[in-house]
A and B are shown apart, each in its own frame.
Chain A
Amino acid sequence: MALLVALRVSLVTLVLTGLAYPLAVTGLGQLLFPARASGSLASDLQGRIVGSERIGQAFTRPYYFHPRPSAAGDQGWDAAASGGSNLGPTSEKLRERIAAARARLELENPDAPRPVPEELLTTSASGLDPDISPQAARWQVARVAKARGVSAARVRQIVDSLVEDRDLGFLGEPRVDVLMLNLAMDRDLGRELGQAGE
């Protein structure tokens, strides 16, 4: 008796909360906030979709700002394999990885102040962190300016214009979206200029 009711209740609630609810929210979300519901896709100057505003991607060239290291997937930045390193505070592997990242960053940024910001040595929880802190962005200004052949002040100005403050003034931390920053660099300073510095 109880099992029969259980089956009926299961099927009824399954249809209501497992099908009707998500499908209705999908319809409403796509209607009210189509761009955001579809992943906040971002385009370059030519209108080509190059990623999502919300999802970090790899940047290695000197004329672009670089994100934090990523533990998503084997190569990092795999947007279909999110996750952190899960290495603990006494992990030898973690110490070695951080030391290697520090050495590489010091080599790539000879004109930047020491020490390297801790944040650029650590992987995020999602492995897809789209942001870096304003400090970590400013730390890279000298390298980017040199590679693009423009003044550091000009680059710094673009960085500062894209800093997002804490939400409502106290939630979370100030941040700069790396993809949006690099798109702004290409837009304001010219893509060709950047590529000439390669």
Chain B
Amino acid sequence: MTFAGWLQIAVFCLVVLAITRPLGVYLWRVFESKSRPLARVFGPIERLLFRLSGIDSKREQSWIQYAAALLAFSAMSLVITYAILRLQRFLPFNPQKLGGVKPALAFNTAASFTTNTDWQAYAGESTMSYFSQMVALAWQNFASAAVGIGVALAVARGLTRKRAGTSTVGNFWVDLVRAIVYVLLPLSVVIALALISQGAIQTLSPYRHLTTLEGGKQLLALGPVASQEAIKMLGTNGGGFFNANSAHPFENPTPLTNFLELVLIFAIPAALTYTYGRMARDQKQGWALFGAMMFLFLVGVTCCYAAEAGHGLGNLEGKETRFGVAASTLFATVTTDASCGAVNAMHDSFTALGGLVPLVNIQLGEVIFGGVGAGLYGILVMVLLTVFIAGLMVGRTPEYLGKKIEPREMKLAMTYVVIFPLFVLGFSALAAARPAALSSLANAGPHGLSELLYAYSSGAGNNGSAFAGLNADTPFWNITLAIVMLAGRFLMILPVLGIAGAMAGKKTAPPGPGTFPTNGVLFAALLVGVVMIVGALTFFPALSLGPILEHLAGRAGRVY
């Protein structure tokens, strides 16, 4: 481990800390304030979109209406994405004359991008036309990120609003349009241009045939990359334009762009904790969440960096020279803490313990900053669980922000908690018992089990990164992973919105002497404990047969 490496990690934390408040305030003004920022510029666009779509921006929705709108939009965008991929050979911007995407792969990809997972069972440069990349995939990067922000806002409103009797949680369409117009789109334009200035490409020209300096042939894949890269990081989507994702020099040309991409992954998830504090009228509520997340992040990055660094330059298989071990392990930790899933190094080639860190990060439920919106609503479910456990310990009815937490909310929270391991472990067991599934593994021995466990964890956690040796473009993997991704998104969003609706209309009582404060260090520590226990206990048996066994076998000199 080097001083420069640690400095990179330290500066990264400081930059994330520094942008949390200003961006958090901006988000609050966009979604919760009476007057929105930069209304002169964005107001007309917003109103045009409302008019063209037939949206009444004044109308509030109950949680059921909110959920219905969300499901309708997601279903529609899934169908449109599927259709574009299937019909790509009839569509424009296809200079390589790529054929239509096969049905199972198109279904997997449509599910993947609709759920903000961006799992990729294809190699972008040999499968997707420029049209598919821009119109189907980049569009979904915006849309699915905006959906996540909407759910987080809905549950935050449910918890923080003090309007006993009215149980509305906002308007899905309004949240969706505002997230795109005020936040995602303008930031993406600036970021994309910054990336191009450093050497990321943005062109509609066909791939270029070259004769190399030694006289060999090289076909240089090109494309509108930077525009996709910007929203891929900002929206914690993670689907690479190219197969090598953010390791590809045209997506992530320098250590500086790498740092920018890292900050973008955490930017909105971190800022939303501040937005949440503002909504709760108690900034410390937000900082307690931020603190718990930052602590878990630091544990992860320290373990991963230590495992990969070794001696000399460290484990360099599957890592780029310009990034080295520090920037690669930082990226691996950040991308799996947040449910981004972009990679700048191949996690499959990490050491056993180095690869364990991204896997555990995902299995903790994507709540360490998490996906845009998804991280906040995930950690809020964990907060309810923590308050409930604390309430049991002192023998009081649990309450949060002055609202009582009752059996209905706890049942919904537990449903949320159970769905994730149910799908991950259930499908992993199924795959482990099927020869057709196992033939896709690239590595033998315990590492093979890690590959398939990682795939379903990544799918259900809507992360999208992979132990990428797995050949996932088979009917079995395409279909089972699509199911897992859809379940990990929508079966988990529904209970969250249910909680939002149930909490929204409750009476607020002022805190009494027996109220357990949820805005301090003690609560943050308890929250960390609950996240670790829920995640670790659930997955420890499976992990012991995968990365942990591989670590021990490797030390004993075994190869497979």
Residues on B with C-beta less than 8 A from A122 are 316-319
A5 touches B53 (CB 8 A): yes
Chain A, residue nearest B445 (CB): A90
Which positions 30-44 of chain A face chain B at CB distance < 8 Å?
A: 30, 32-33, 36-41, 44
A-B contact pairs, 30 of them (CB 8 A): A2-B68, A2-B72, A6-B76, A8-B52, A16-B185, A22-B138, A28-B193, A30-B202, A33-B197, A38-B201, A39-B201, A39-B208, A39-B250, A81-B243, A82-B123, A82-B125, A85-B349, A86-B318, A86-B467, A87-B317, A89-B550, A90-B443, A90-B558, A124-B247, A125-B343, A125-B345, A126-B249, A131-B320, A170-B7, A170-B8
- Whether the Cβ atoms of B224 and A128 lie closer than 8 Å is no
B180 and A13 contact, CB distance less than 8 A? yes
Report yes or no: A126 in contact with B247, Cβ–Cβ below 8 A: yes
Report yes or no: B550 in contact with A88, Cβ–Cβ below 8 A. yes
Contact A58 B216 (CB under 8 A): yes
A83-B243 in contact (CB<8A) = yes
* Smallest beta-carbon distance B326→chain A, Å: 8
Can you add 11 more A-B contacts, CB < 8 Å, to A124-B318, A125-B319, A172-B255? A6-B75, A18-B134, A38-B201, A38-B222, A50-B211, A88-B348, A118-B312, A125-B320, A129-B321, A170-B11, A182-B213
A132 to B126, CA, bound (A): 27
Residue A10 CB within 8 A of the other chain: yes
Count residues on chain B whose CB falls below 8 Å from chain A CBs. Answer: 118
The 7 nearest A-B residue pairs measured at CB:
A172-B255, A86-B469, A18-B139, A125-B247, A173-B324, A82-B244, A29-B202
Quick check: B73 and A10 within 8 Å, CB to CB?
A: yes
Is there contact, CB below 8 Å, between A64 and B201? no
Is A171 a contact of B256 with CB atoms below 8 Å?
A: yes
In Å, the complex CA distance between A16 and B11 comes to: 35
Given known A32-B197, A39-B201, A90-B352, contact A17–B142 (CB-CB < 8 A): yes
Q: Which residue of B lies closest to A171 (CB)?
A: B255
A150 CB-CB contact with B under 8 Å:
no
Note all chain A residues with C-beta closer than 8 A to B126: 80-81
Residue of A nearest to B176 (CB): A9
Chain B contacts with A in 415-471, Cβ cutoff 8 A: 442-447, 450, 467-469
Answer yes or no: B204 CB below 8 A from chain A CBs: yes
A51 touches B218 (CB 8 A): yes
A169 vs B447: C-alpha distance when bound (angstroms): 37
Q: Given the known A-B contacts A10-B80, A60-B214, A89-B351, are A166 and B4 also in contact in the complex, defined by CB atoms under 8 Å? A: yes
Complex: A22 Cα to B125 Cα, angstroms: 17
- Interchain nearest-CB distance for B248 vs A (Å): 5
A3 within 8 A of B: yes
CB of B182, distance to nearest CB on chain A (Å):
13
With A58-B212, A172-B323: A29-B204 Cβ-Cβ less than 8 Å: no
Do B142 and A57 touch across chains, with their CB atoms under 8 A apart? no
Given the known interface contacts A26-B204, A36-B197, A54-B253, the answer about A89 and B349 at a Cβ–Cβ threshold of 8 Å is yes
Q: Report whether B218 and A29 are in contact in the complex, using a CB–CB cutoff of 8 Å.
A: no
User: Is A94 an interface residue, CB under 8 A from the partner?
Assistant: yes
Q: How many residues on A have C-beta within 8 angstroms of the other chain's C-beta atoms?
A: 97
B248 contact from A10, A25, A128, A133, Cβ within 8 A: A128
Which B residues are CB-close (under 8 A) to A85? Answer: 317-318, 346, 349
Whether B112 sits at the interface, judged by CB under 8 Å, is no
**Contact present for A16 and B49 (CB under 8 Å):** yes
Q: Is A4 an interface residue (CB 8 A)?
A: yes
The verdict on A19 contacting B134 (CB below 8 Å), with A90-B554, A95-B559, A133-B313 known, is yes
Complex contacts, A100 vs chain B, CB 8 Å? none
Which residue of chain A lies nearest to B210 when distances are taken between CB atoms in the complex? A51
Is B220 within 8 A of A81, CB to CB?
no
Do A90 and B49 have beta carbons less than 8 Å apart? no
Give Cα distance in the complex from A44 to B126, angstroms. Answer: 29
Choose among A9, A92, A122, A132 the residue with the greatest number of B CB atoms under 10 Å from its CB. A9
A119 to B259, CA, bound (A): 22
Are A173 and B189 in contact, with the CB atoms below 8 A?
no
Min CB distance, A94 to chain B, in Å? 7
Complex contact A79–B220 (CB within 8 A): yes
Asked whether B254 is an interface residue with its Cβ less than 8 Å from the other chain, the reply is: yes
* Residue of A with least CB distance to B343: A125
- Are B8 and A171 neighbours in the complex by a CB distance under 8 Å? yes
Q: When each residue 173-209 of chain B gets 1 if its CB lies under 8 Å from chain A and 0 otherwise, what string results?
A: 1001100100011001100110011111111110110
Write the nearest CB–CB distance from B490 to chain A, whole angstroms: 14
* Residues of chain A within 8 A of B218, CB atoms compared: 51, 55, 57, 77-79
Are B258 and A171 in contact, CB atoms less than 8 angstroms apart? Answer: yes
> Considering the chains assembled together, what is the distance between the CA atoms of A30 and B52 in angstroms?
31
A36 touching B198 by the CB < 8 A rule? Answer: yes
| CA–CA, A38 and B450, complex, Å | 39
Taking each of B213, B242, B256, which has the highest tally of chain A beta carbons within 10 Å of its own beta carbon? B213
